[in-house]
């Protein structure tokens, strides 16, 4: 019995050491896997972005341009994420994939709006330049934009791709931009005033000093800026820098572009999920769907192309570790215990799951699935877990019921034992020999003590022998324990070395990533400074050339002025005569202009009447179409009933003939 106990203790100690080794090695493997595919700080950010939809009104102004510009950037981000990054990940993971170009690049339209040079500058940059010109107006801004984006090209100049997205309106002052959702005509009335967005400095100081925390936070930057500006400053500045030079200000376009760039940087640092809202009809009525309108929205938003690439590609993907941890329960016994390469483990699992080879692809670090495969695996996993938990509950209920029944049986046995002892005591209590035994029993203590001593000596001898045997076994176990502890210490040292190596690799990787981010930011800043300096240099050279040309023209004009002066004096008398004649013709021309204006008003009224009549005709046509569809449905129902009646009558006639 003692030997068997020592062997059991030895087996338990060996099993404990083996379990400790497996757990430590498994923890090391998991840590290395996490280091290879470690989540960064980007995964700790969750945000919801709700934006205004694309706006096309009868009259589109500066606000609509900024909103549509924002939508253009976000749509470009959607296209890049859905069609470029998705296919780049396939190639990066080593999956066989033919690149599909969906031709959804919106960069020409974005450059048309936000470009800063040295090619033709964008609309917003041109607007910012006009805001600092002393005599600039909305008309001069519009003409400048027309000359840059729709004027004639210089000799040898390559046309910008954004020129194809820009066109001129027929009547109003403005321009037309071709966005991803369609063409939008913008009117430039009041754009300079809206872009400057001047605020009264006294009003801003009062609002910044408000006792309401929310109001004060809205005007905090404005208040600090105004408090540092001199009294004669023009405009204001909103930003992180508090020291603002005299006369410096930032326009609405500049602030909008900065905020939009920060938003895009935040979006690029996250893993986005998109929700597309579709307008069912333009009448804002329920239970009505305008099919061409919905299809146009789906086509413009890139949803149809997204469905295409989702059908062609593999939208669901999981890292090897996550796939193994989640779905290994579906393939018990397939993967051996201990460390195994994640790719090989996933290949064994999908083979055991009997999945079609066309439904999945195994990359270098992830496994990709067609749409719907993961949902099927989740259903199988849920069903298996349901069975496992049901069996576990059944075993637990069986154990509880058996324990309760055992308690009841033990109680019954104890009650019968107590009853039997009580009956025996009642029978022996009046028996003379029992009375004699109870009186003689105290006198038998001496003999009982001798027998007890002999028994104790025998037991002591047995205990000594058992102790010696236990001592020998303890020494053997102690030696084995020391050997196992030495092996354990060696394994722990190896694990510590591996952990230190993994920690050093993590530190080096983090430093390299931080250095990479810093270098990218420096490169972006240097490119921006270089572009600004190039644009400033080009403008300075252009201004110098124009000033030289103007100087030469003025010198030639001064030489010609002396010659023209005599001729002008001679022509002055002739002009006076013509002026008198034109003064006589002026009343007649004014009456003609009034008559033309009345004709134009009449034509506009006729145009409005024709437009109203056309809309009424379209509504009548829609109602007639609905009536025709309902009539067609009724006729189809009647035709089906008539055919059914005819068929029944034919059957009845056939039955009658057969009876005869």
Distances from the Cα of 282 to the Cα of 288, 293, 294, 350, angstroms: 10, 8, 10, 49
Token pair for 11: 């087996």
**488 in any annotated domain:** no
Structure tokens at 4: 């068997």
- Please report whether residue 300 resides in a domain: yes
Q: What is the mean pLDDT of residues 535-560?
A: 81
**C-beta atoms surrounding 257 within 10 Å:** 21
pLDDT of 320 higher than 60? yes
The phi, psi pair for 328, rounded to 5°, reads -65, -25
pLDDT at 646: 82
pLDDT-based confidence at residue 651 (cuts at 50, 70, 90): confident
Report, as an integer, the average pLDDT of 139-147: 90
Q: How confident is the model at residue 608 (pLDDT cuts 50, 70, 90)?
A: confident
Q: What is the pLDDT of residue 18?
A: 52
pLDDT at 236 over 50: no
Verify that 188 and 262 share a domain, yes or no: yes
Over the chain, what is the mean pLDDT?
A: 80
**pLDDT(171) > 70:** yes
Rounded to two decimals, the pTM is 0.47
Same domain, 66 and 172: yes
Q: How many domains does the chain have?
A: 3
CATH number at residue 215: 1.20.58.530
Question: By three-state DSSP, how is residue 409 classified?
Answer: helix
80 and 151 belong to one structural domain:
yes
The predicted pLDDT at position 30 comes to 55
Confidence at residue 545, expressed as pLDDT on a 0 to 100 scale: 84
Q: Are residues 165 and 181 in the same domain?
A: yes
Whether residue 494 is contained in a domain is answered as no
Predicted confidence (pLDDT) at residue 660 exceeds the cutoff of 50: yes
Region 226-236 average pLDDT: 40
Q: Please check whether residues 257 and 321 belong to one and the same domain.
A: no
Q: Is the pLDDT of residue 367 over 50?
A: yes
| Consecutive H or E run containing 361 | strand 360-362
Task: Find all residues with CB under 8 Å of 47, minimum gap 6, and list them.
Answer: 266, 270
Task: Verify cis geometry, omega within 30 degrees of 0, for the bond prior to 232.
Answer: no
d(CA 70, CA 195): 16
- In this predicted structure, the answer to whether residue 414 has a pLDDT above a threshold of 90 is yes
pLDDT the model gives residue 1: 40
Query: Among 430, 463, 490, which residue terminates a domain?
Result: 430
Which residue from 56, 175, 160, 66 is spatially nearest to 117, judged by alpha carbons? 160
Sheet holding 366-369, edge to edge: 316-319, 366-369, 360-362
Model confidence at 391: pLDDT above 80: yes
Mean pLDDT throughout 81-90? 75
Segments forming the whole domain that contains residue 304 = 275-312
What is the SS3 assignment for 147? helix
SS3 390: helix
Q: Is the confidence at residue 232, as pLDDT, over 80?
A: no
Of the given ranges (140-144, 365-369, 414-418, 542-546), which has the lowest mean pLDDT? 542-546
More confident residue, 69 or 106: 69
pLDDT of residue 129 exceeding 80, the answer is yes
> Is residue 413's pLDDT more than 90?
yes
Whether 477 contacts 6, CB under 8 Å: yes
- From 387, 406, 430, the end of a domain falls on 430
The pLDDT value recorded for residue 132 is 87
Collapsing DSSP to helix, strand or coil, 182 comes out as strand
Q: How confident is the model at residue 604 (pLDDT cuts 50, 70, 90)?
A: confident
pLDDT at 406 (0 to 100): 94
Q: Averaged over 424-432, what is the pLDDT?
A: 84
Q: What is the pLDDT of residue 98?
A: 67
Contact 112, 124 (CB under 8 A): no
* More confident call, 422 vs 238: 422
SS3 (DSSP) at 241: coil
Statement: residue 130 has pLDDT above 80: yes
Would residue 126 count as lying in a domain?
yes
Instruction: Report in angstroms the alpha-carbon separations of 348 from 95, 113, 315, 322, 580.
Output: 18, 54, 22, 15, 104
Using the predicted structure, report yes or no on whether residue 650 has a pLDDT greater than 80: no
pLDDT in tens, 370-380: 888 888 999 99
Examine the domain organization and report whether 282 and 263 are in the same domain. no
Tens digits of per-residue pLDDT, 431-472?
Answer: 888 888 777 777 766 666 777 788 888 888 899 898 898 888
- Whether 644 maps to a domain, the answer reads no
Please indicate, yes or no, if residue 132 is contained in any of the structural domains: yes
- The whole-number average pLDDT for the span 115-124 is 82
- Where would I find the H helices in 429-444? 432-440
Co-location of 409 and 283 in the same domain: no
Calpha distance 177→169 (Å, rounded): 10
Q: What average pLDDT score do residues 42-57 get? A: 76
Strand-pair partners of 433:
none
Distance CA 564, CA 554 (A): 14
Contact yes or no for 113/145 (Cβ under 8 A): no
Distance CA 452, CA 454 (A): 6
Check whether residue 270 and residue 372 sit in a common domain: no
Share of the chain above pLDDT 70, in %: 85
């Amino acid at each position: 019995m003692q030997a068997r106990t020592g062997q059991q203790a030895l087996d338990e100690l060996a099993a404990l050491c083996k379990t400790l080794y497996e757990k430590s090695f498994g923890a090391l493997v998991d840590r290395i896997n996490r280091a290879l595919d470690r989540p960064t700080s980007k995964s700790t950010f969750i945000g919801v972005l709700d934006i205004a939809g694309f706006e096309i009104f009868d009259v589109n102004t500066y606000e609509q341009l900024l909103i549509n510009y924002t939508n253009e950037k976000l749509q470009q981000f959607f296209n890049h994420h859905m069609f470029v990054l998705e296919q780049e990940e396939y190639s990066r993971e080593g999956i066989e994939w033919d690149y599909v170009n969906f031709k959804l690049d919106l960069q020409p339209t974005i450059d048309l709006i936000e470009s800063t040079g040295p090619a033709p500058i964008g609309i917003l940059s041109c607007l910012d330049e006009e805001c600092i010109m002393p005599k600039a107006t909305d008309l001069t801004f519009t003409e400048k934009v027309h000359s840059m984006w729709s004027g004639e090209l210089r000799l040898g100049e390559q046309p910008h791709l954004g020129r194809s997205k820009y066109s001129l309106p027929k009547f109003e002052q403005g321009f037309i931009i071709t966005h991803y959702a369609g063409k939008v005509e913008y009117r430039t009335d009041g754009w300079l005033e809206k872009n400057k967005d001047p605020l009264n400095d006294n009003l801003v100081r009062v609002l910044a000093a408000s006792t309401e925390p929310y109001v004060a936070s809205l005007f905090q930057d404005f208040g600090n800026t105004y408090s540092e500006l001199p009294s004669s400053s023009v405009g204001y500045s909103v930003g992180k820098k508090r020291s603002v030079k005299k006369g410096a200000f930032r326009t609405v376009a500049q602030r909008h572009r900065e905020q939009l760039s920060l938003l895009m940087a935040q979006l690029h640092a996250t893993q986005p999920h998109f929700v597309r809202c579709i307008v069912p009809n333009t009448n804002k009525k329920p239970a009505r769907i305008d099919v061409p309108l919905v299809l146009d929205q789906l086509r413009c938003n890139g949803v149809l192309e997204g469905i295409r690439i989702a059908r062609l590609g593999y939208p669901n993907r999981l890292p090897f570790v996550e796939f193994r941890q989640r779905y290994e329960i579906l393939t018990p016994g397939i993967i051996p215990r201990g460390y195994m390469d994640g790719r090989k483990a996933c290949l064994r699992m999908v083979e055991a799951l009997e999945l079609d080879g066309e439904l999945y692809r195994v990359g270098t670090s992830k496994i990709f699935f067609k749409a719907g495969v993961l949902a099927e695996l989740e259903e199988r996993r849920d069903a298996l877990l349901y069975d496992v938990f049901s069996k576990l509950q059944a075993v637990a209920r069986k154990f509880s019921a058996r324990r309760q029944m055992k308690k009841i049986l033990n109680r019954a046995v104890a009650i019968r034992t107590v009853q039997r002892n009580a009956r025996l005591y009642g029978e022996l209590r009046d028996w003379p020999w029992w009375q004699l035994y109870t009186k003689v029993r105290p006198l038998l203590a001496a003999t009982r003590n001798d027998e007890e001593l002999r028994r104790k000596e025998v037991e002591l001898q047995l205990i000594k022998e058992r102790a010696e045997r236990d001592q020998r076994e303890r020494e053997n176990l102690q030696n084995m324990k020391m050997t196992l502890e030495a092996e354990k210490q060696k394994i722990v040292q190896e694990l510590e070395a591996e952990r230190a190596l993994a920690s050093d690799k993590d530190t080096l990787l983090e430093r390299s990533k931080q250095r990479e981010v810093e270098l990218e930011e420096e490169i972006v800043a240097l490119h921006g400074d270089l572009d600004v300096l190039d644009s400033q240099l080009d403008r300075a050279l252009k201004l110098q050339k124009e000033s030289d040309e103007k100087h030469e023209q003025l010198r030639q004009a001064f030489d010609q002025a002396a010659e023209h002066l005599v001729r002008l004096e001679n022509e002055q008398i002739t002009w006076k005569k013509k002026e008198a004649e034109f003064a006589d013709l002026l009343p007649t021309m004014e009456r003609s202009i009034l008559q033309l204006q009345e004709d134009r008003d009449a034509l506009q009224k006729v145009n409005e009447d024709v437009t109203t009549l056309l809309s009424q005709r379209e509504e009548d046509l829609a109602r007639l179409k609905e009536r025709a569809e309902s009539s067609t449905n009724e006729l189809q129902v009647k035709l089906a009933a008539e055919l059914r009646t005819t068929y029944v009558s034919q059957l009845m006639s056939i039955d009658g003939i057969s009876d005869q």
